[in-house]
Amino acid sequence: MKIPSFGEKMETLVYKKRLGAYIIVSRNVGSEIVLIQAPNGAYFLPGGEIEAGETKETAINREMIEELGIEVVIDEYLGQADEYFHSRHRGTDYYNPGYFFVAKSWTQVCEPLEKTNTICWVKVDEGVTLLKRGSHKWAVRKWTANQ
């Protein structure tokens, strides 16, 4: 099966590979999802870079404490979607293979450790519209098609 790819890969650019793990966290019987709004105003699914020595799942668990202050039970793996993008903030071009999951359940255990982001609960359709990355939109659409 072909891995979906988003963004434009420019042959003249050198991309830094950045593996990411992301998760769909919902509430109200799946009618709302949580998004992370970065300081620059862009919206993303919760998650982020898989650090050295981490599995996709341990990266998700760490990111959930950092971004949301929650512990999740991972339900399903939606799949991989790749993204090519330029980060103005970091001045870097990235190749971002993203691995997308769905939370079966979640529990608030602490305040988020990161204080720079805004946590936004939105209706699923609104979330798809707000999300910056095509791979994140793809994951939410795939999840809703499976429900």
What six digits make up the tokens of 123?
A: 């209706």
The count of other CB atoms within 10 Å of the CB of residue 73 is 9
Query: Which residue did the predictor score with more confidence, 5 or 89?
Result: 5
Alpha carbons within 13 angstroms on the beta-carbon side of residue 134 total: 13
* Mean pLDDT of the region 56-69: 97
pLDDT at position 147, please? 75
Domain chopping of the chain, boundaries = 14-146
> Is the pLDDT at 45 greater than 90, yes or no?
yes
What is the tens place of the pLDDT at every residue in 22-31?
999 999 999 9
- CA-nearest of 130, 142, 145, 147 to 34 is 130
> Is the pLDDT at 63 greater than 80, yes or no?
yes
Fold of 14-146: Nucleoside Triphosphate Pyrophosphohydrolase (3.90.79)
* Cβ-Cβ contacts under 8 Å for 63 (sequence gap 6 or more): 21, 46, 47, 48
3-state DSSP assignment of residue 134: helix
Q: Which amino acid is at 141?
A: R
Mean pLDDT over the full length of the chain: 96
* Mean pLDDT of the region 104-114: 96
* Mean pLDDT of the region 71-79: 97
Model confidence, pTM: 0.95
pLDDT at position 146, please? 80
> Is the pLDDT at 87 greater than 90, yes or no?
no
